[in-house]
Amino acid sequence: MAEGKSGKTLLEVEIDAELAAEAAARGVNLSATSEEALTRLTAADRGAEWRRRNAPALDAYDKHIEGDGLWSDGLRTW
């Protein structure tokens, strides 16, 4: 992987030839599309990892609320 002046990395990838041709015919920017997809996938993975790491705390909080309610339960007028 070679890093350019833009801070981006030059990658060589293999994709289906027909798909690449159709994307090019439709004006799809493969670099931008790949970067957007990788951004979404890595963000989703980070979120799932955060949920796994914090599952015990989230479960404890849920149990606390189930047992004791919210701190504002007695303050609401609706």
Structure-model confidence comparison of residues 4 and 27, the more confident one: 27
Task: Report the alpha-carbon angle 64-49-44, nearest 5.
Answer: 110
Q: What is the Cα gyration radius of the chain?
A: 23
Whole-angstrom distance, CA of residue 19 vs CA of residue 34: 13
Residue 2 has pLDDT above 70, yes or no: no
Higher pLDDT, 10 or 4: 10
Identify whether the C-beta of residue 44 lies closer than 8 Å to the C-beta of residue 52. no
Which residues lie below 8 Å from residue 30, measured CB to CB, with a gap of 6+?
20, 23, 24
**pLDDT, position 3:** 64
Instruction: Say what the pTM is.
Output: 0.66
